[in-house]
Amino acid sequence: MSTDFDAAFENLPDDGEALDYTQYTDTPEGFRSGFVSFVGRPNTGKSTLTNALVGHKIAITADQPETTRHPIRGLVHREDAQVIVVDTPGLHRPRTLLGERLNEVVKDTYADVDVIGLTIPADEKIGPGDKWILENVRKVAPKTPIIGIVTKLDKASKDQVGAQLLALHQLLTEENPDAVVIPVSSKEGVQLDELIDVIVDHLPEGPKFYPDDHITDEQQEKRIAELIREAALAGLKDELPHSVAVEVDEMLPSQTREGVLDVHAVLYLERPGQKRIIEGKDGRRFTRIVGTARKEIIQLLGQNVYLDLRIKVLKNWQSDPKSLGRLGF
């Protein structure tokens, strides 16, 4: 993979001192490093798998499809390898300008990684959508190794899992007779080490791109915004989840409460009627969103937090170029 070594460090925290590159390049002989990304239909367990491999919650999860909206990097550290897992939005047939932009980001990501994992749930048969995704991945990454991953073992019987493994193997071996297929359960931690072994086998030899204590290069404000959006998505149905976006305005030490961080954020919706759904009866649902998000933010930051969350309507933001740019898409 033709990754610019210096560029891999541009998102590391700046502590005011020059980085000592030698601390990351002093690696043992035969050390492997590189990038892997999971591809699949929305809601096939890609983000849950990413979190399980990294050992930390770096990507939000929800029951709704298309939860992930931008690539997130997580680190898996081993004595013999460093694996950078890139969680991406699901590749899908777009219905909005946002969907089109997300697909372009996904394709750019696949073109730059060393290994791609095709995720198929154990309890859902392989369909035209999965084949469409595989075809599109091959267009942008024709030579990148693809590993078959059957996810959600905990939701299927042994017979279902066996049939799915065979079906996925047949799909991948049409173009690569040596394709590897592996079943995993992120929820129960089944075969995760074995999956990392397979990924590492496909990575090139190279140096460490990040220090050993690094978990993700995701900016703190983005992680907080995503935790708020995750809380807002809980229990939502139909189209409303896609209309939810969150932006952190500012984070400041409280002027009145010692040791408290004030987090000011905005939850954007597309139509005035959606505000009533988010608020719920007597505002109870919104209160629950703030409480849930605050707990997650406290856990992330390790300090007490006051969350000031406001709701604003940004009309049809998913299809408006100016609004998308404002929200970072």
Residues forming the annotated binding site? 40-47, 87-91, 151-154
Binding site for GTP: what residues are annotated?
A: 40-47, 87-91, 151-154
Listed residue (84, 70, 45) closest to 183, CA to CA: 45
Main-chain dihedrals φ then ψ at residue 223, nearest 5 degrees:
-65, -40
Q: What is the DSSP string of 17-28?
A: S---THHHH---
Structure tokens at 85: 């897992």
CB contact burial 130-142 (16+ within 10 A = b; e otherwise): beebbebbeeebe
Give residues with Cβ within 8 angstroms of 92, minimum separation 6.
41, 42, 65, 66, 99, 103
CB atoms closer than 10 angstroms to residue 192? 18
Say how far apart CA 229 and CA 247 lie, in whole Å: 9
Determine the 3-state secondary structure of 230 from DSSP. helix
Structure tokens at 212: 């050993």
Determine the 3-state secondary structure of 3 from DSSP. coil
